[in-house]
Structure 1
Amino acid sequence: MKEPQILLKTVSDMVCVTNDGCLTVWDSEMIHAAGTAPKMGREVKEVLIDQTGKCFYTTNQSEEVWRWSSDGGLPNVYFLHDGPVEKLQLSPNGVHLVSLSAGEIYVWLTETGENVVRISGSRATDVLITPNSNFGVSISKQGLSHVWKIISGGIVCSIHLYLSDAQVSLESTFLIGLHGGDLLAASLWSGSISKRFSCVENLEHVIAFHTLSEHPDFVLVMTASGAMYTWNVAEETVCWHFQLPHMFHCQPQDFQMTSCGSYALLSTDNDSINLLDLSPVRLCSFKADGPIIKACLDKTGRYVAQISRPTNQDILMCLFSARRSYAHSDMDFRQ
């Protein structure tokens, strides 16, 4: 935010006018709530929200994970580990919390905070939970990755190849991920690589992909050249959709999709958020006030949230209505 010229306080709002005439209105109750909210001694690294919205979990690279009440804004349960917490996952049904700390995997009951399973000697760098909440997957860059039962920790199978950026299919049958530029699907029952994304006319590497929760059999795939496909994993069929123009590209670390597959966040380079509307196939670019630290796409495609850092100023958070803004700054590439 630029240096304010005038600050005005009304009954419900704080109004700021900057030297360039920009007007910003802040809700006074939100400012008060932020100032009085409980704070942790360290920087929060990760936040997981329960699907009911009644509570959320935080990590801060310490040995503790805290559960907070959304209503009161206070922590009510903590989960203590032997080392700093590196990864955290909440089961879709909200019953179990899975954490990775100092090479060990912990499974907790969220209601009581009890540690019910502890897997020692893991070389995992990441952990996942299947959508049916029955199995955990520990991903290892060196050594075997394992599929195991949440309730007991018993190993179901091992996966020999390391799959980066891995995601579990919506039907909890495959672990889908990248290996050497190839997009592979490993069976969660046998551990074998049973599916491979293949396109005869385009042998380029896959750089990003995303499963679609409203279309369980399909994965949206982006290649290095900017070609976008949908891959039907069950039927092993591929459909080409379009080619990104040269002025747009996909950054794998930013790539996000809505649950229905209608919108995609492609990149956040050059102080801009680049979005793709897949229904009429059009691209849109939002200019930010400075370098973008983080951008998130709402699952419904209605909003994009960004955190940016204007030059020599504090962090800002801005909200855009994606569908509403397309009418003002879109480009059609259907030809």
Structure 2
Amino acid sequence: MNPDAIPTVFDGHNDLLLRLWLQEEGDPVAEFLQGSMKGHLDLPRMRRGGFAGGLFAVFVPPVQYAKQSKTAYVEEDHHPLAITEAQIALLHTIAERSDGQAKVCRSAGEIEQCIAQGVLAMVLHIEGAEALNEQCSQLDRWVDSGLKSIGPLWNLQNCFGTGVTGGFPGSPDSGEGLTAAGLNLLKLCNQKKLLIDLSHMNEKSFWQVAEHSNAPLVATHSNVHAICPQPRNLTDRQLAAIAESDGFVGVNFGNAFLRADGKRDGDTPLSDIVRHLDALLEKLGENRVGFGSDFDGISVPDALQDAAGLPRLVAAMSAAGYSSELIEKITWRNWLSVLKKTWGE
């Protein structure tokens, strides 16, 4: 494939909204729309790279993480519900100020229409439900705002269960699973046809979702534990369960989740991403694999750099023998397929 050819990419995970929320000066939405070269994502670079849409995560960072970026941030400022709703508002502000260049999508049909029209398709996703109370009383309001996907857990414990934790190398079997409130949240997600993200669940939580959810099992931004034994990567047994459910995995571009040594080293070849894709294709089949970049949330290979570098990754896939049809499935069609199965559209 021509390395200058622009692909169509629908991506399963990014942390743009967190980065914009953390920005203290200027107009972060204007900078995103006009181009700022901050982080991995802005609209001009996304267009250059073929980034047509994806799941945009809302994430409440730990207090110490926020303090590193917001110089005046204090613990008393840390209100998860307010932070969550501020990031949701940022997503809608991007759409409102984009002059038709971006849209918050609530169905697979809307995503397909945006892709056809060259409009950035943005899907609202919650990563870690710290702002949600045990009764989930805020959930309907978020659904009304466009929420279509939720990861109940991040790395830390909340009222719904315990996320995956531990150092490298390590096992995903790290602590207790879902609480009664967590199981109730799964039930609500199934009723409301929300995608349930497994990427930050420990092993016990993963298997509880496999037992209790009636939707395809989806890990939006995870890799292969047999290649890189990060606790957050998926074991062969987990991958077999995802395949059995007709589910999906989006490969994470983070160096620490790609490399066999687990290092956050930018000197990571694009062939390491292809290696994980190869293993996922072997375990899941060609219809259940895609991208879950984690842009703006991790360090990526220097050879990729940012969203504008996506054609280089696609060229590496082509050089590895991937057909144009398979590349198209991985870069966007498989995502649309699993969203239709999950959302019922």
Q: Could you say whether these structures have the same fold, taking a TM-score greater than 0.5 normalized by the shorter chain as the test?
A: no
**Which is greater in Rg?**
1
Normalising by structure 2, we get a TM-score of: 0.27
Normalising by structure 1, we get a TM-score of: 0.27
* Structure that is richer in helix per residue: 2
| Greater relative CO, 1 or 2 (CA 8 Å, sep 6+) | 2
* Structure that is richer in strand per residue: 1
